[in-house]
Amino acid sequence: METRTLKQVIRVMATVDGGGIKLLCGLGQTRDLRLDPFLMLDEFSSVNADDYIAGLPDHPHRGFETVTYMLDGHMPHQDHLGNRGGVTTVSVQWMTAGRGIIHSEMP
């Protein structure tokens, strides 16, 4: 078995986004840390619904891919064109958003 050496530890930054959800930002918080092709890597997890219930109201997605995985819960997604979907417990959603799409994720 080959042993690999850890090159870098990336510290997460606690922040607030969208309608006030509390999340941990692992990538995207600093211009010095770019791991192409990833723009950002966020985590939100809480047993307190007040930490996330405000969700991520209407916001633009402009030509990038999002991958969302859900360990427990449900997160509906929709856009202004009427497209709807969601991610549920132990599932993954891969979404391609075109330029100008207005999107929301509301738990």
User: What's the pTM value of the predicted model, to 2 decimals?
Assistant: 0.69
**From CA 14, how far away is CA 65, in angstroms rounded?**
23
Contact present, 36 and 49 (Cβ < 8 Å): no
**From CA 15, how far away is CA 7, in angstroms rounded?**
25
Block residue for tokens 């997890």: 45
pLDDT of residue 5: 93
Which residue in 69, 74, 73, 64 sits closest to 28, CA to CA?
A: 64
6-62 residue pLDDT tens: 888 888 889 888 888 888 888 776 666 666 677 778 888 888 888 888 888 998 877
